[in-house]
Amino acid sequence: MSLNIKNPETHRMAKELAQRRAVSVTQAVTDALREALDKEPMSQRRYENVLKIAREIREALPPEALAYNVDDLYDEMGLPQ
């Protein structure tokens, strides 16, 4: 298999990471990609948890708490009441 990266900056960073970690460029790229991919599910999981909490809060609120009109928050001059 082959991965052809034509960006000089990417090559430079891959070589630098390989040198810092004392591994091959291939291993440095593999490790960096694995680390990036491992972080992705956490972000998705965190997003799903926030949505779940928001739904639970919304369900716990009484109906009158959700039945407000934004126009009631401001007077005729657009200032908060």
Q: What is the pLDDT of residues 21-43, one digit of tens each?
A: 999 999 999 999 999 988 887 78
Query: What average pLDDT does range 53-68 have in this prediction?
Result: 89
- The CA-atom distances, in angstroms, between 51 and each of 27, 43, 59 are 37, 12, 12
Task: Tell me, yes or no, if the pTM score tops 0.85.
Answer: no
Classified as helix, coil or strand, 35 is helix
pLDDT reported for residue 34: 95
